[in-house]
Amino acid sequence: MLVITILFITWPWFFVCLGGKIIKSPKIDIFSLNSTNNDTTEIHTICRITSDELIADAQSIVTRVSTKILDERFDLFEKKLNEIKDLVLQMNLQSLSVNLNDRKDKFIVKKNYEYLKTPRQFEIRKFNDTVNEILISNEYFKVYTYFWIIENMKNKLSNWRTGYSQRSNTFYIKQAGYGMYMKITPKYFPDGTIFIAVGLTKSHQDNKLSWPFILKLRIEILDHSPEELLRIDRSSRLWDPLTVCPTYFWQQPAIIGHPDNLECVGLSIPRDILHTGSKYLWNNSLYIKLIVYL
């Protein structure tokens, strides 16, 4: 059996590694080929540039190239294989190139997403659960940022009945102390509108905090387009607790009993923006960003 892949993913890595980035990169790790049995050969990440910025950069290129290439025919793949061999030789990685040669026509086919991090990964790693300053029309705002990844969206969108929801873990707004959660309802109305809400929940610091909660907040759905300039995150408006909902929703959460206040604000999105191949889905997951203005 002839099985193809992962190499599809890996050859652009070489391209990236050799495409001038080496010079800027502090360190490049090469991992070797791994043979699983006689018929299949699995290649793990072959080229990893150990600098956060460059990893993100490299991966976005991989994504773009690999999704395109996956649709192309095997003979093209074989051509790429030879290119890789040349690149490998240029890099003086003798043992790897020999292995590639030996196993030339034995590769596993696997869809790539499971292995690739979103082009937004750098941002997520850097800002998740942190306080930062952001610049909006010449003014700096101190904000807390939290990212929530909702997996297995296809199943939730097609099978979950109206009103059925999933809650995020509780998280605590750094420097402010409030406990919060988010909640997605894949089918909020029978027409299929998706709703992503945010609400307050109990925090061990509640007694020391001031009530009602008055911090402004917004939710964004991340766009995973490789090109940064082409990304358009779907954003809610900036909610001001003082004006959007009755104070009831922003009071101190119950000390005993159910810890969550009812949620009052949320972002609704039409179902069809999450079609197959949508730039708002990555690895069948939806990535939500919450920004709280401190």
Q: Considering only residues 152, 175, 205, 210, which one is a binding residue for ligand NAG as defined by CB under 6 A? A: 152
**Buried-exposed string 232-263: b where 16+ CB fall within 10 A, e elsewhere:** eeeebeebebeeebeeebbebbeeeeebbbeb
Window contacting ligand NAG (CB under 6 A); options: 33-41, 45-53, 61-69, 263-271: 33-41
Contact status: 37 vs ligand NAG (CB under 6 A): yes
Q: Judged by CB, which is closer to ligand NAG: 51, or 285?
A: 285
Contact status: 1 vs ligand NAG (CB under 6 A): no
Contact status: 147 vs ligand NAG (CB under 6 A): yes
The answer to whether the beta carbons of residues 264 and 244 sit under 8 Å apart is yes
Q: Considering only residues 181, 283, 286, 289, which one is a binding residue for ligand NAG as defined by CB under 6 A? A: 283
Contact status: 52 vs ligand NAG (CB under 6 A): no
Amino acid in the structure at residue 292? V
Contact status: 149 vs ligand NAG (CB under 6 A): yes
- The number of residues in the chain equals 294
**Buried-exposed string 42-66: b where 16+ CB fall within 10 A, e elsewhere:** bbeebbbbebeebbbbbbbbbbebb
- Minimum distance between the CB of residue 42 and ligand NAG, rounded to whole angstroms? 8
Retrieve residue 160's tokens.
């979950």
Helix (H, G, I), strand (E, B) or coil at 192: coil
Contact status: 22 vs ligand NAG (CB under 6 A): no
- Minimum distance between the CB of residue 44 and ligand NAG, rounded to whole angstroms? 6
The helix (run of H) or strand (run of E) holding residue 24 is helix 22-24
Taking alpha carbons only, the member of 19, 30, 25, 26 closest to residue 93 is: 30
Q: Judged by CB, which is closer to ligand NAG: 250, or 281?
A: 281
Q: Considering only residues 72, 83, 151, 228, which one is a binding residue for ligand NAG as defined by CB under 6 A? A: 151
Q: How far apart are CA 294 and CA 291, in angstroms?
A: 9
Contact status: 32 vs ligand NAG (CB under 6 A): yes
Q: Judged by CB, which is closer to ligand NAG: 147, or 250?
A: 147
Contact status: 137 vs ligand NAG (CB under 6 A): no
Q: How far apart are CA 224 and CA 286, in angstroms?
A: 10
The answer to whether the beta carbons of residues 31 and 42 sit under 8 Å apart is no
User: Which region, left, alpha or beta, applies to residue 192 given φ > 0 means left and ψ of -120 to 50 means alpha?
Assistant: left
Window contacting ligand NAG (CB under 6 A); options: 149-157, 220-228, 232-240, 263-271: 149-157
* Binding interface with ligand NAG (CB under 6 A): 32, 34, 37-38, 44, 114, 116-117, 124, 128-129, 147, 149, 151-152, 169, 283, 285
